[in-house]
Each structure stands twice: as C-alpha cells, then as structure tokens.
Amino acid sequence: MQERVSAEEAVERLRSTLGDDVGDVEVRFGHLDATCSAENLRHVMTTLRDEPGLRFEFFTFLSAIDRSEFGGPDKPDKHGGLELIVHLYSPAHVLHINVRVPLDLADPRCESISAIYRGANWHEREMRDMFGIQFEGHPNLTGIYLPEDFEGHPGLRSFKLPNRAFIKPWPGAKDPEEAAAGGR
C-alpha cells in the first residue's frame, strides 16, 4: 500500500531516524538529497531500506563524479574529491533520494552496499574500473569493462587520453580547390 509522503515530511523522518549519521538533507526538484560519510554508508543504506517510515527498497543506480576542479585550498567550502552518488526509490512512499558520499581522491574507498542492495554489485565494479573506488567487503571486486592490466581510471579528470599510435594520412583531396586542380 502506498502512503504518499511529502518530501518535506520525509526530510523530518530522515533526520529523526538517522540523526547525525547524515549530513546535509534537502529537497531538490521534489527529490531528497542527503550526504553521509563513507564510514556510515552501510548503516545509512540499511536504515533507508528497513525503516518503516522510509522504506527505500528499490536501488536505482550508483555512480560517481570527480569534482576535483571545484574544491581545493582556495575553495575550502567545496568538496574537491570524488563524490559517490546512490539513488534509491521508495515505492511505498513514492519518494526518490540521492545519497552523496564524499571520498578522498587520493585513496577513494568506502563500504560495499552490494549485500544490502544486490543490484549495486555491478555498479560498484564499474566505479572501481572508471574511478578507482575500492568497495570494502565487496564479494568480487574485479574489473567489468577494462582489462586488469589497464593503467588509469577513465572517469577521473586527471586521466589523459592516449594519443594515436599511428596516424594514417587522409587519402583524398584536402580542400575543394585542390580537388579541382586534380591534386591530392
């Protein structure tokens, strides 16, 4: 049975249930947006799923953002590392939530939530490949896209795209005038 809950009421439920285990909680475009630390992630996810007043039982996705250009010593109010984002849905209360987890860019790691939400398994493996995030307690944190000997993490802003090893000259005319003159 659905009990439609306003986003503002859900913020109050979230605050009263999780207290200091969550940081900022706000409503953005009708959806909840909360932050938590990497150390509290598993506890927060379990509570969001199991608490009757919340019941975020549907895992939608897990992704990451490299915010390294936004933070730093000159902008201490901004988080300048990686940000893990977990999106959940509560069919019982018709609510969406994004849980944002700031991670250290130099050593990105947090607890795996794949035992809580089985669908997170492959998402965590993807984030390991693309961003280098280590999910502690993951049952099989192996590559999903990239070969094991691949160097770097393509999702990071610091990743340099490799140059072409071999550049083949263009086989045809380079411009209309050259083509009209019969040249190559």
CATH number, residue 74: 3.30.460.80
How many folded domains does the chain comprise?
A: 1
Query: How many other β-carbons are positioned within 10 Å of the β-carbon of residue 40?
Result: 19
* Token output for 165: 């090893």
pLDDT in tens, the chain (184 residues): 677 888 888 899 999 999 999 998 999 998 999 999 999 999 999 999 999 989 999 999 999 999 887 654 555 455 678 999 999 999 999 999 999 999 999 899 999 999 999 999 999 999 999 999 999 999 999 989 898 888 899 999 888 877 655 556 666 656 667 667 765 5
- Asked whether residue 90 is assigned to any structural domain, the reply reads yes
62 domain-assigned: yes
Task: Indicate whether 42 belongs to any domain.
Answer: yes
**Is position 129 within any domain?**
no
Q: Is 32 inside a domain boundary?
A: yes
Task: Determine if the pTM surpasses 0.85.
Answer: no
Domain range for 36 is: 7-119
Tell me the two tokens of residue 31. Answer: 């959806």
Is 173 inside a domain boundary? no
